[in-house]
Amino acid sequence: MTRVAFILALLFTAPWQEAEIVDVRDRGAVDLKPFNCQDITRSSVISRVCYDSESRRMLIQRHAAYQQYCDLPKDTLDAFLNAPSMGRYYRANIEAADGSGPYACGTHKVPSYQ
């Protein structure tokens, strides 16, 4: 009986970290474990931003779909998160109208996340 109580105590006090895997456009499933994610409530375009500082990779959730951007400097991320209009900053500085842009993963090395 003491063992059962001990095991239950361990189960209820152990930290629980559920893996979050999202589907990223043109990439497939990506585990968000290495990313620092923020829910965005002040933008009608962007609903979530996730950034991995080690690989300088950013994921943005727009209209329920995730998109990835590669080799994005931390200062660009900070400017994006603090911009008066995140949507305008995004369109002007991160993604061009034709889907390319300075941080398009097609022109940068993409880390292999599983």
In the predicted structure, residue 103 carries a pLDDT above the cut 80: yes
Answer whether 0.95 is exceeded by the pTM. Answer: no
Q: 25 is written with which tokens? A: 């456009």
- Give me the pLDDT at residue 105, please: 87
- Give me the pLDDT at residue 68, please: 94
**What is Dmax (Cα atoms) for the chain?**
66
- Report pLDDT digits (tens) over 13-30: 544 456 799 999 888 999
Cβ burial of 101 (10 Å; 0-12, 13-18, 19+) is middle
Q: List, in sequence order, every residue forming a beta bridge with 61; answer none if it has no partner.
A: 48, 66
Strand order of the β-sheet with 28-31 is: 28-31, 21-24, 65-69, 57-62, 46-52, 36-39
- Report pLDDT digits (tens) over 41-84: 999 989 999 999 999 999 999 988 999 999 999 999 999 999 99
